[in-house]
Amino acid sequence: MSALADNRAGGALRSLCIAMLLVVAARAGSAAEIPLPQRRSGYEFMGRETRAMQDDDSANPGMLWVLDGEKLWNTKAGAAALACADCHGDARASMRGVAARYPAFDAAAARPVNLQQRINRCRGEQQKAPPLAFESKDLLALAVYVGLQSRGLPIVPQTDERAKPFIEAGRELFQRRQGQLNLSCAQCHDDNWDRRLAGNAITQGHPGGYPLYRLEWQGLGSLQRRLRNCLVGTRAQAYDYGEAELVNLELFLMWRARGMNIETPAVRP
Partner 1 sequence: MARALINVPATARRGDIIDIKALISHEMETGFRRTQLGVPIPRDIITQFICTYNGAEIFRAEFHPAIAANPFIAFSTIATESGTITFNWSGDNGFSAAESAAISVA
Partner 2 sequence: MRATGVIAAGIAFDAATTAVAAAEPAIASASTAAKSSVVSMLEAIQRTVGSATINKGRVKLELPPLVENGNTVGLAVRVDSPMTPADHVRAIHVFSEKNPQPYVVTFRLGPRAGRATVATRVRLADSQTVVAICEMSDGSFWSDSVNVVVTLAACTEEL
Q: Which residues are known catalytic residues? A: 230
**Cβ at position 240, least distance to partner 1 in Å:** 19
With b for 16 or more beta-carbon neighbours within 10 A and e for fewer, the 235-257 pattern comes to ebebbebbeeebbbbbbbbbbbb
E-assigned strand segments in 161-218: 196-197, 200-201, 212-214
Contact flags string 210-249 toward partner 2, x per CB under 8 A: -----xxxx----------xx-xxx---------------
**Cβ at position 215, least distance to partner 1 in Å:** 8
Q: Is the dihedral of CA 121, 127, 133, 135 positive or negative?
A: negative
Q: Which of 199, 240, 243, 259 binds partner 2 (CB under 8 A)?
A: 199
Strand partners, 78: none
Looking at beta carbons only, is 81 or 215 nearer to partner 2? 215
* C-alpha–C-alpha distance, residues 113 and 14, integer Å: 36
Q: Does 161 bind partner 2 (CB under 8 A)?
A: no
Q: Which of 25, 50, 61, 83 binds partner 1 (CB under 8 A)?
A: 61
Long-range contacts of 218-227 (CB under 8 A, 24+ apart): 220/61, 220/62, 220/64, 220/65, 220/140, 220/144, 220/265, 221/135, 221/140, 222/116, 222/134, 222/135, 222/140, 222/143, 223/114, 223/250, 223/253, 224/114, 224/134, 224/135, 224/250, 225/135
Of partner 2, partner 1, none, which one does residue 67 interact with (CB within 5 to 8 Å by kind)? Answer: partner 1
First to last CA, the chain: 19
Q: Does 24 bind partner 2 (CB under 8 A)?
A: no
SS3 55: helix
Q: How many residues bind to partner 1 according to rule CB under 8 A?
A: 9
Q: Does 167 bind partner 2 (CB under 8 A)?
A: no
Choose the binding region for partner 1 from 64-72, 170-178, 237-245, 252-260 (rule: CB under 8 A): 64-72
Q: What is the DSSP track for 64-106?
A: HHHHHHHHHHTS-BTTTTB-HHHHH--HHHHTTTTGGG-SEEE
Q: How many residues bind to partner 2 according to rule CB under 8 A?
A: 30
Q: Does 219 bind partner 1 (CB under 8 A)?
A: yes
Contact flags string 50-69 toward partner 2, x per CB under 8 A: x-xx----------------
Q: Which of 34, 42, 43, 46 binds partner 2 (CB under 8 A)?
A: 46
Of partner 2, partner 1, none, which one does residue 8 interact with (CB within 5 to 8 Å by kind)? Answer: partner 2
Looking at beta carbons only, is 171 or 214 nearer to partner 2? 214
For partner 2, the binding residues (CB under 8 A) are 1-2, 4-6, 8-9, 13, 17, 46-50, 52-53, 197-200, 215-218, 229-230, 232-234, 269
